[in-house]
Chains A and B, each alone.
Chain A
Amino acid sequence: MENMVTVYLFGKKYEVPDSLTIMEAMEYSGYKLVRGCGCRNGFCGACATIYRISGDRELKACLACSTRVENNMYVATLPFFPLVKERYDIEQVKPTEQIMMQLYPEIYACVGCNACTKACTQGLSVMQYIAYAQRGEYEKCAELSFDCVMCGVCSSRCPAGISHPQVAMLARRLNGKYVAPECEHLNERVREVQEGAFESLIEDLMGKPLEEIQALYNNREIEK
């Protein structure tokens, strides 16, 4: 027999099997989800959730799809958080401090409370990546923020009104486009394709009778 636990969904009490995730517990209790449910596996950040275990003072944050229910858990989902997302032209911006000052000046108002880091559902050093963003160190900001699913919980706890996930998003794009090293073999291959260097090779292959292509495929050499 399943072990049942008590959970409070938006304050209302339900009994659910303890093997369920919070998301499954909601469905088990009769909720048909539209908001607050995307990938169902920790990638999209649609299911940000705040919870508190009875007797404990601390509010914790998690992803409902990848967190198991606990006994006496009070749950409130945060299916949307109004982050600030500034528009910019990726072709025009430069990877300097200037751009953060212009688009997200509030990051310089960070009071260092570290609430963002404590709240991160992915366990990231959020405050630290914001510090890198302040200094225009986009490579480091990108690296530290890489696993961000943009659920917005960090921002919900921020006294300075920072939209951390959007700051990190900008930093990663700046890093990917401007800071990371150019890839020579890629540029070279694109040139070759555009010059039609492989055209006849492929056409030739496409024109072969099936048995011949099959033989080529079955005997092709595989890189070690």
Chain B
Amino acid sequence: MYQDPVMQASIKKVEAARAQNMKLDPRRFSAEEKEALLKTYHPDYREEQFAPLAVGPNKGQKVPLELKALLEGRPRLLDAQVDLSQSEYEADVLIIGGGGAGCSAAIEANNNGASVLLVTKLRVGDANTMMAEGGIQAADKPNDSPAQHFLDAYGGGHFAAQKDLLKKLVSEAPEAIQWLSNLGVEFDKAPDGTMITTHGGGTSRKRMHAAKDYSGAEIMRTLRDEVLNRETIRVVDFTSAVELIKDEAGRCCGAVLMNMETRELMVARARTVVLATGGAGRLHYQGFPTSNHYGATADGLILGYRAGARLMYPDTLQYHPTGAAFPAQIYGALVTEKVRSVGAMLVNANGEVFMNPLETRDVTAASIIRECTDRGNGIDTPEGKAVWLDTPMIEAKLGPGSIEKRIPAMMRMFAKHGIDIRVEPILVYPTLHYQNGGLKITVDGQTDVENLYAAGEVVGGIHGRNRLMGNSLLDIIVFGRNAGLNASKKAKSVQPGTATLSAMFAFEAERADAGLNGGIPSPQLLPDYVRHAHTTMAEG
């Protein structure tokens, strides 16, 4: 129930127009309209929010201010003593990050005979993967093809994707779904086994596979269960990588780890390393709320960058058009795109449908921002302006019970705060959702640093400058497996030399040359949400 009289009055307009609105099939924006929208309203185009890097392999290129502070920040280990000759952990392959990409890599490396150490900041599975709702793309229907999938993703990413990576993504998509199915992931299927697939923003074929609207959770918990089934995968949780270790030949061969609770430092040595640390939502670029999990602080970008790996498109972020804007307790939380896939439309304060709800995410976000700013058609909420997502349309189109069946997590999320999305529309506004850019990799998953592999959201280039819904879950499986396989293959022939922190010291020298003294502790590890109402005593 909405208590606010202004919201109630606006809902009346939405209800009055619903029957008419449902009949609309709003035309898509032309290529020119899209470009103009993005340039004027998308947060990636706010010049003052970006600045060029002063050090490192991407020196001179612009990145978000918050990321720049960390990339140029002060390595945490500068203030600590670590003895690299002692190692607490040893394995063939070290995997950093226990989300979907890390777990897929662990399973494949292990299948290939490697002993695996998987370290992760929170618990294994406390990750963005767990939160994905909408689904995973794969061109496995007769009217579809990997080439069609390529075209959608390439165009959706503004023709900027690294083509060889994208080719791998779409070509191996059906096999990724099969692999997950064989592990026991419960995809939505018709009684005859046909996959139930829908559209996502920017798709030209219905190729979104889902497990209700717990797609990521279903994939993540299955992968986690499989990882825990393996005796030769060792999982260490509440343990973060804070610096990468290289040998004298410049090959990555381990990491310095920190116990998140005791803050004890430990050394892990390995033949090859996979970075799978995910995204950066908790850096709250430009003050946006985020849909991401608590540990999404871009650590992998920092670690890789300091070790010498180039970034690709670090200036492109994805603002999911439909973050929850009300009530405050779920501000920024994701309202899955599937809500639009199954029939809800975007409606402004006057009850007008102002766009086709299935444009790509960046265009949709920009269009909502335009509605809420220049056009003045937003609805006031305690946190700012918002527009309606008219969920009752879904039941009107698909029949009673369809919301509970298709998007139960959404229904539950709002019901907890007294809003019944079957009969009441919901308020949405863009939320910081996904890091399009990241570490540059080759088709075999390796970064610029020898024996340092990367997979998942920490990687950039696969999706170009914008990612389509469903292509990230796909990417973490395809490239997670790929990284695990190649890292374990490589591990068979590598004999690492002496462990050093030479990369960190070289980077530190570069910082000094650039006049960057001090700086914030980096990587960040966790956001700080503590209210500092009183002065506190330092520890020690």
Contacts and interface: CB of A to CB of B under 8 A. Distances in A.
Interface of A: 19-21, 24, 27-35, 37-44, 46, 66-68, 85, 87-90, 122, 142, 146-147, 149-150, 169-170, 172-177, 180-187, 189-190, 193-194, 198, 201-202, 204-206, 210, 213-214, 216-218, 220-223
Interface string B238-278: 10000000000000000000001100000000000000000
A208 B172 CA distance: 22
B167 A44 contact: no
B185 interface: yes
| Residue of A89, A180, A181, A220 with most chain B CB atoms under a 10 A cut-off | A180
B381 interface: no
B159 interface: yes
A174 B185 CA distance: 9
A198 B148 CA distance: 10
A202 B126 contact: no
A150 to B, nearest CB: 7
Contact of B186 (A20, A142, A210, A220): A142
A189 B191 contact: no
B123 A38 contact: yes
Given A34-B238, A87-B229, A214 B195 contact: no
Nearest to A150: B221
Nearest to A31: B530
B65 interface: no
A183 B186 contact: no
A43 B217 contact: yes
Nearest to A122: B412
Contacts of A88: 229
A195 to B, nearest CB: 12
Contacts of B206: 223
A185 B141 contact: yes
B329 interface: yes
Q: Which 9 A-B pairs have the closest CB atoms?
A: A173-B184, A217-B155, A38-B126, A181-B193, A176-B184, A176-B186, A177-B184, A201-B147, A189-B140
B143 A27 contact: no
Nearest to B211: A146
A28 B329 CA distance: 13
Contacts of A175: 184, 186
Interface residues of B, number: 90
13 contacts: A30-B536, A38-B130, A66-B329, A68-B417, A90-B183, A149-B217, A170-B225, A175-B184, A184-B194, A190-B174, A201-B146, A205-B147, A220-B152
Given A34-B238, A190-B174, A202-B170, A28 B531 contact: yes
Nearest to A142: B186
Interface in B131-190: 131, 138-143, 145-148, 150-152, 154-155, 159, 163, 167, 170-172, 174-175, 177-178, 181-187, 189
Q: Chain B's interface: helix, strand, loop or mixed, by majority?
A: loop
Nearest to B382: A19
A87 B229 CA distance: 5
Nearest to A32: B530
Nearest to A170: B225
A186 B195 CA distance: 8
Contacts of B123: 38, 44, 46
B171 A193 contact: yes
Contact of A183 (B167, B189, B260): B189
Contacts of A89: 229
Contacts of B528: 32
B205 interface: yes
Contact of A41 (B125, B187, B413, B534): B413
Contacts of B194: 183-185
A87 B228 contact: yes
Given A43-B217, A88-B229, A142-B186, A214 B155 contact: yes
B306 interface: no
B418 to A, nearest CB: 10
A19 B329 contact: yes
Interface string B212-246: 10101110011001101111000000100000000
Contacts of B214: 43, 146-147
A34 to B, nearest CB: 5
Contacts of A177: 181-184
Nearest to B526: A34
Contacts of B291: 41
Contact of B143 (A172, A176, A210, A223): A223
B333 interface: yes
B370 interface: no
B328 interface: yes
